[in-house]
Structure 1
Amino acid sequence: MDWIYGIVQFVKSRLHEMPEDQEQIEGDALYKIVQRCFDEPLSVEKDLKTIEIKVSPILVDNLTNIQRRQCLSLVDKNLGDTMNRVYGKDWKLDKVEEMRDPGLVYLLLHHDTEFVGFVSIKAVEDNEFHVLYIYELQIVKNYRRMGLGSKLLGILDQIVGLVNSDPVYTTRFGKLEGLSLTVFSSNEGAKKLYFSKGYEIASHSPAVRHLRNRKIQPDYFILVKKSF
């Protein structure tokens, strides 16, 4: 399951650009709300045992080089072949730059001391909608298929609800109209999960092309989930 950097570059071309300091200011406000959601670890089943996954929110400015390398390495393990095919062998250079975007909030996932994944999110203007954009959701292979992705998506729904019920946030930045993400069209497992959670292909997403004898899939889809 993944939400990928390179694709975000296309989406950025469609985003209404905010001044960098404004992005960071809204990111700071989002971070304060996100912190309320992770007082307790997430419980999931692994090898017939209940284990706890600690989720640590962190602002992009406070992400250490070691943490950034861990995140980049996981993207490479999960998506490296596809990224190389779609964006070329130098995709990591752009990825490192994207991982420093002002206003990003990271959720770092650990089981005991083991790094098991991360999520990165940001409030953006996407196609004239103010949304919580999920840049990445990456989980280590051995920790998939145990409900962790579903639980994280549920918490992101809660974050949108908390934002929209916070008058300080909404007065300054407006309400979030939903969530948005990008997913490779070849990632059938991820698409199945997102569709099951209420995500739909956005009207501004690249579309399947229907030729006389075949269909041509785009490299990725933009998905949205409205909060109303």
Structure 2
Amino acid sequence: MNYDPWKVESVIRDTFPDKIIGYDVQVSIEPKNVHEFVELVSINLGHFYSRNHGSNWKLDKVKEMEESGLVFVSIWDHDQLVGFISFVDTIDDDIRVLYLYEIQINPNHQGKSLGKLFINYFHDLAKYLSKINNKIYSNYNNNNPHDYLDRTETLKGTKLTVFSDNSVLDWYIKLGYDKSEDSPQDRKLRSGKVIKPEYYLLFRSADNE
């Protein structure tokens, strides 16, 4: 992917601050070493991934985190990772969205509303981009899968994937997310038993207050 790292950070910094309750905020795109991020995912969600994707899920997660264009906003207490959020500006199901990949807080720092602050800044960024019709990336070549972002699509909202049995689902619903049209749905058997899919796809409009 061709892009200007300075431009990426400057767009993110329009809504994300330099510090969050005293912790330093770093913005990076395609970081060279993602293993520290993967380890935090493992601490918080490793049991979900192991059950649904097997023991080698970390290798797949590393590849995912190394995808072109993925933006990481992380907070640090000196050299200790406190938490991070990662996302990409993309087209999904024919609409432009900020797709949330991860929002993770170290258990030692939970209970400080860091997750709420992270998601609020993320929603602010989506609203900001939708109003100015700006894009995070620029300078694409013709072989790049994200070339569409050099056109005029308006960002419509935010989207994410969540395990159906993860209690954080209720948190997202309270934040204004709904199942997207392309989300897997529950199946109700003749016996009345409801079978849930492995995951749901959730969408939130950028105009949602």
2:159 to 180, 184, 188: 180
Asked whether the 8 Å contact 1:56–1:108 carries over to 2, the reply is yes
Name the structure 2 match of 1:55: 25
Q: Give aligned-pair identity as a percent.
A: 30
2:43 is aligned with 1:77:
yes
TM-score of the two chains, using structure 1 as the length reference: 0.77
Contact 1:72 1:96 in 2 (8 A): yes
In structure 2, distance between residues paired with 1:54 and 1:34? 15
After superposition, residues 26-175 of structure 1 pair within 5 angstroms as 30-43=8-21, 52-60=22-30, 63-65=31-33, 68-166=34-132, 169=135, 172-175=151-154
Structure 1 gaps, min length 5: 1-20, 44-51
Unmatched 5+ residue regions in structure 2? 136-148
Q: Deviations over 1:77-136 (max 9, x none)?
A: 111121111011111221111111111110111123321111111011111110000011
1:205 corresponds in structure 2 to: 183
Q: Note closer, same or farther for the CA distance 1:168–1:152 as it changes in structure 2 (3 Å cut).
A: closer
Is 1:227 the counterpart of 2:206 in the alignment?
yes
Structure with bigger helix share is 1
Contact 1:58 1:107 in 2 (8 A): yes
TM-score (norm 2): 0.84
CA shift for structure 1 position 204: 0.9
Q: Per the alignment, in what secondary structure is the counterpart of residue 60 of structure 2?
A: helix
The reply to whether residue 196 of structure 1 matches residue 174 of structure 2 is: yes
Q: Deviations over 1:12-49 (max 9, x none)?
A: xxxxxxxxx3xx54987554310223343122xxxxxx
The structure, 1 or 2, with the larger RCO (C-alpha pairs under 8 Å, 6+ apart) is 1
Q: Check whether the contact 2:133–2:155 (CA below 8 A) recurs between aligned residues.
A: no
Matched residues in 1 for 2:194 and 2:154: separation? Answer: 38
Measured on the aligned residues, the alpha-carbon RMSD in Å equals 2.2
Q: Distance in 2 between matches of 1:35 and 1:227?
A: 18
3-state SS, counterpart of residue 117 of structure 2: helix
